[in-house]
Amino acid sequence: MGNPVMHFEVVGRDAPALQAFYGDAFGWTLAPAMPAYAMAYPGVEGGINGGIGAAMDGGPGHVTIYVDVVDLEATLETIERLGGRRVAGPIDVPNGPTLALFADPEGHVVGLTEAGSGQARAQR
């Protein structure tokens, strides 16, 4: 099994402004999912759904991709063995996937979703 990118996330200080920008720039449909966060749907076959919202820590924000894997713990152990580090998780998101975050050897943060969990399962 390959490990596809399943989700993207753009978060920052002004969620409504970011949502309006990306919705207008690319014609994405945005649907509120929780306070200060909306799901973004590109509306084309093969497109990756994502989320746009407020950064949880109030910081300047970031962009994260989420890679779908079969086993979060096993993948995190491999990542640590290869010089990366666990940042967060696994976390069971209510009505969503089980996810985790890691940093690669240069510090880039990447997300993981567990195959078959929550949203990852719904997108299949």
Instruction: Break the chain into its structural domains and give their ranges.
Output: 5-122
High-pLDDT (> 90) share of the chain, %: 40
Q: Is the pLDDT of residue 22 over 80?
A: yes
CATH number, span 5-122: 3.10.180.10
pLDDT score of 99 more than 80: yes
Question: In this structure, are residues 32 and 38 in contact, taking their beta carbons and an 8 Å threshold?
Answer: yes
On average, the pLDDT of the chain sits at 86
- How far is the C-alpha of 10 from the C-alpha of 83, rounded, in Å? 26
Q: Which residue has the higher pLDDT, 55 or 119?
A: 55
| pLDDT-based confidence at residue 106 (cuts at 50, 70, 90) | confident
Specify the pLDDT at position 1.
55
